Structure 1
Amino acid sequence: MSTPPADLLAIEAYYDAVPRPVGTTEEVGPFTLFLAGPGTGWQFYARPRLGLEDDVTADDVRRVLARQAELGGPRAVEWVDEVTPSLLPAVREAVTTPHELELCPLLVLPDGTSLADESGRTRVLGPDDPDLPLVVGAVSAGFGERDDAAAQDVGKRPELIRDGLLVMVGAYDASGAVAGGGSASPRGHIAELMGIAVLGRARRQGLGAATTAALVAACRAAGVTTTFMSAGSDEATSVYERLGFARRGTACILGVPD
């Protein structure tokens, strides 16, 4: 297997680091299985083990999915295609039951790209901010995971914010009500932007772009030099490319229903 580009290897190392503060790991063949700790509110996955040199086989995929089922967690695998190119064909051979397989553009903000939030309608949230549950609820509603924007349990977020491992930004409509938000998880000089969403009533007002700019600014203030994200749709990809993000690879997400 040829050596992947250094920047993608750094992103893969970042992916390995992000879940560790709030969970445990188990090695299953060529995979690291991440297991969420109690009370986190998150569901984790398996990823190819860092430094893997051998090709992944269909039997390897079947083995890790079986272990996830045995543990009662979600059967899910995530990886960067350019870092582990043998995994996608192995998944397609191993998983013949109904499943979801997303191939998402991996977008990186080039060095020196400037994003400005001139809306005045976003705010970086502290660990005890009273809007934190409302922002978490609005983001879930924005992604269609909830029927309304009611406050939601914040889980371990305050602790992670306090430790500098999570940045949360709230977005507000013209009346000052919470209308969405987003997050980032800095680890060293890299941070992934995640969960950027706006309620339907507040879309087409630039709040998604403003939230993105606020997250990038907060991460850079914390010493981050590389910010990236994976876009789940062509529409989202085009939005972020207009902001200056550039395609660098492909983030793959496999989910097998129970």
Structure 2
Amino acid sequence: MHDNVQNFAVAHLLRRPAPVETGGFVAGFDPATDSPYVNYATPFPGAEPADRDVTALIRAFRERGLRPRLEFAPDAAPAVEPALRRAGFRTEAVHDYLVCTPATLVVPANGDGPDGGLAVRAPRTDEDYRAVDTALSEAFAGEFGPSEAGAARLRRTEEQGGAVRFVRAPDGTCAGGALCSAPAEDTAELAGVGTRPVYRGRGIAAAVTAALAATTFSRGTSSVWLEYSGEGSRRVYERVGFRPRGTRLYLTLEG
């Protein structure tokens, strides 16, 4: 499963508008944004980069005015972390990831909260995509601002074979949502699970997570994986069938 997730990471970055392959790495660049969470690199499984390969990777980022940054499953390429650390890369984060399969998926009945009856929807209009983007910005405490570009990226996720799902708020906006990438290597990444603070505790995260997994499985994919940010979110994901499977490492080069 480490290689499956890492193979997915490679394929996912190769779908970026301007990917670059160099020295055992693929860097996924999107000229429409300078976000480090969009523009980053990952190694091919089993890569054994020399110092000159890491230098070339750094140069690819610097030439674009971007901070060198990587996300990967270290068990899939054990030689990569030492090479990056020799070049001065430091740990940004270490995240465990969970995997769900059709055999483990549990779809909550009537949502998963005290008021029940949560209707999980797919966005249909530009207004829907803007509402989801705005809600996720609020859910993640302004880590990224709502924007037309963000809404457009959500629409492209759907158009390119992924999925976006949300629960509508009583005022017609979005209470919470999430997205799942287009599958690659027989798996897909579920990400951006967020609920606006006022609507938390109503089972929205569990409902959209289960709906996205079910949608992805219905298209023939054998697994879905995600990372979690804390024990509270882990319990939500485990309740709908996600199980611990491995670790992903985030490294960045400052300066």
Aligned to 1:112: 103
2:122 maps to 1:128: no
Range moving further from structure 2, 75-84 or 171-180? 171-180
1:172–1:124 Cα change, 3 Å: closer
Matched residue SS, 1:24: coil
2:20 maps to 1:26: yes
Aligned to 2:8: 14
Q: Post-superposition shift, 1:83?
A: 0.2
Aligned to 1:70: 63
2:241 maps to 1:244: yes
Equivalence map 1:32-181=2 (5 Å): 32-38=26-32, 43-50=38-45, 52-53=46-47, 55-57=48-50, 60-95=53-88, 99-117=90-108, 118-119=110-111, 120-126=117-123, 128=125, 130-145=127-142, 152-153=148-149, 154-164=151-161, 166-173=162-169, 176-181=172-177
| Superposed CA offset, 1:6-27 (max 9, x none) | x322222221222333412222
The answer to whether the 8 Å contact 2:7/2:44 transfers is: no
2:190 maps to 1:193: yes
Q: Post-superposition shift, 1:58?
A: 5.4
1:191–1:25 Cα change, 3 Å: same
Range moving further from structure 2, 113-122 or 70-79? 113-122
Length, aligned pairs only: 246
Distance in 2, Cα, partners of 1:146 & 1:109: 27
Amino acid at match of 1:221: S
1:142–1:105 Cα change, 3 Å: same
| Superposed CA offset, 1:32-74 (max 9, x none) | 1221143798722111135x45x33555434422331222123
Amino acid at match of 1:43: V
The normalised TM-score by structure 2 is 0.82
Distance in 1, Cα, partners of 2:140 & 2:148: 14
Q: Which runs of 5+ in 2 are unaligned?
A: 112-116
Q: Post-superposition shift, 1:135?
A: 0.5
Distance in 1, Cα, partners of 2:24 & 2:197: 42
Matched residue SS, 1:32: strand
The answer to whether the 8 Å contact 2:13/2:41 transfers is: no
Among 200, 220, 226, the residue aligned to 1:203? 200
Distance in 1, Cα, partners of 2:26 & 2:197: 37
Range moving further from structure 2, 32-41 or 244-253? 32-41
Q: Post-superposition shift, 1:223?
A: 1.9
Q: Aligned-pair RMSD on alpha carbons?
A: 2.8
The answer to whether the 8 Å contact 2:122/2:164 transfers is: yes
Distance in 2, Cα, partners of 1:134 & 1:168: 12
Distance in 1, Cα, partners of 2:63 & 2:55: 12
